[in-house]
Amino acid sequence: MKASAIATAAWSAFIAAVVTFMLLPLALVIVFSFNAAALTSFPLTGFTLDWYARLFANDSFWPALTDSLIIAAAVAILSVMVGVLAAMGLSKLKGRAAMLLLDILAIPMMLPALIIGIALLSFFVRVLSLPLGLPTVILGQLVVIVPFVVAILYARLSNFDWSLVESARDLGASPLTAFATITLPIIRPSVAGAALIGSGNTLPTLVWGMVRTSLDPTINAIATLLLGLSIGSTVLALRLLDYRR
């Protein structure tokens, strides 16, 4: 009895330590975005919204936000479209063949982003002579996001009963109607999850510049906004898709 009580206490302490490790840094970022002092350091000196005001007055903030939202929306929509189709195709294959294809498809997700990034950059610039801009950023994001989407959806679809689709088709429903009315309602919580990974991955160049040049609490403010935006969009997407049911 005593040994198991010690084990339980040890596991609780371990869980508490890991939870603290995972959440405390983000919590500190949020707290210091409202702290009056210019240095990110305890003790706290008082509540302020100055850092947010300074951020909103920054000329490069609004265009950066707009671009990020455009990229996120385009990547989410395109990756879910491609991903849903691929996951459906894979789930109809034999388990081994599907796993092999999934592993091949997942290689871009595994490789260092730096190497994929510069390989794409040199391909766009040297081979295709494309101008760099929002479209090339969206294409670059798709390469890494689509495997995530396919993997999530495949996991959900592979224990999904295809006979439901077959019987709807037998009753005269077109494959598309069958997809929209039966397949999508069953997989949609996963589609939402996949779409969110798609949009949560955009790299804000504004933060890049700020982190490089200064340790200013304005970064805390933009970090808090990004955190709120990503969690908020998750909750909103789950609401829209009626996840509670």
Partner 1 sequence: LNRLPLSGRPRLAQAPLLAPAAILWIVLFALPLFSFLVFSFWSVRARIMRPDFTLQNYVATIREYGDVLLITLGMGLIIALATTTLAFLFAYAIRFRAGRYGDMLLFITLIALFGGYLVKIYAWKSILGRDGIINGFLMWTGAIREPLEILIYSHGAIVVTLTYFLLPFAILPIYGSLRAIPEDLIEAASDLGASSLQVSRDVVLPLCERGLGVAFLLSFLISVGDYVTPRFVGGGASMMGHFIETQFSFGFNWPKGSAMSFTLLAASLALVILCRTLLRRLLRP
User: Residue 111 corresponds to which tokens in the numbers above?
Assistant: 């490789």
Contacts (CB under 8 A) with partner 1, residues 92-111: 92-95, 97, 101, 104-105, 107-108, 110-111
Q: Applying CB under 8 A, which part among 54-62, 183-191, 201-209, 235-243 lies near partner 1? A: 201-209
Stretch that binds partner 1, among 51-59, 181-189, 207-215, 236-244 (CB under 8 A): 207-215
Integer angstrom CA distances of residue 3 from 11, 14, 118, 121, 153: 12, 16, 55, 58, 43
- With binding defined as CB under 8 A, does residue 198 bind partner 1? no
Q: Which residue among 55, 76, 88, 168 contacts partner 1 (CB under 8 A)?
A: 88
Residue 166 as a binder of partner 1 (CB under 8 A): the answer is yes
73 touching partner 1, by CB under 8 A: no
Q: Which of 110, 120, 190 is nearest to 150 (CA)?
A: 190
Q: Binding segment for partner 1 among 45-53, 69-77, 184-192, 198-206 (CB under 8 A)?
A: 198-206
Determine which residue in the list 14, 60, 134, 181 makes contact with partner 1, applying CB under 8 A. 14
Tokens found for residue 244: 């509670």
Q: How far is the CB of 70 from partner 1 (least distance, A)?
A: 17
Report d(CA 201, CA 105) in Å as an integer.
19
- Rounded to whole angstroms, the Cα distance separating 76 from 72 reads 6
Among residues 91, 183, 190, 218, which is the contact residue for partner 1, using CB under 8 A? Answer: 91
Minimum Å gap between C-beta 33 and partner 1 is: 11
Concatenated DSSP letters for 29-72? Answer: HHHHHTBSSSS--SSP--B--HHHHHHHH-TTHHHHHHHHHHHH
**Closest CA relative to residue 241, chosen from 171, 164, 188:** 188
Note whether 53 binds partner 1 by CB under 8 A. no
Decide: is 1 part of the binding site for partner 1 (CB under 8 A): no
**Counting contacts by CB under 8 A, is residue 26 touching partner 1?**
yes
Residue length of the chain: 245
32 touches partner 1 by CB under 8 A: yes
